[in-house]
């Protein structure tokens, strides 16, 4: 009885993989205005307080997001509707 060894299956070429860490870039939008990240690495609330010094309504706005656009996290300030009285 003879046992023939089968040829090993062809293997795909080994492609070395590398992981590249890139910093996360955040931006905010408010009423069509793009606001830069003044405090990278800080909380969303800290950034909101700083943006509110120039755009007061941002303080009470809802933060939506992030949406990812070309490697950038985009947060949107959505004004909260309210009534007086």
Query: Is the Cβ–Cβ distance between 48 and 63 less than 8 Å?
Result: yes
pTM of this structure: 0.70
pLDDT surpassing 70 at residue 36: yes
Confidence of residue 82 (pLDDT cuts 50, 70, 90): low
- Give the SS3 label for residue 23: coil
Query: Is the Cβ–Cβ distance between 32 and 48 less than 8 Å?
Result: no
pLDDT digits (tens, 9 = 90+) for 48-59: 999 999 999 999
């Amino acid at each position: 009885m003879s046992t023939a060894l089968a040829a090993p299956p062809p293997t795909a070429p080994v492609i070395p993989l590398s992981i590249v860490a890139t910093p996360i870039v955040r931006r905010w939008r408010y009423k069509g205005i793009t606001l830069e990240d003044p405090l990278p690495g800080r909380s969303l609330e800290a950034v909101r307080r700083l943006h509110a010094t120039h755009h007061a309504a941002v303080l009470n706005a809802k933060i939506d997001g992030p949406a990812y656009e070309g490697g950038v996290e985009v947060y949107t300030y959505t004004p909260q509707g309210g009534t007086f009285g």
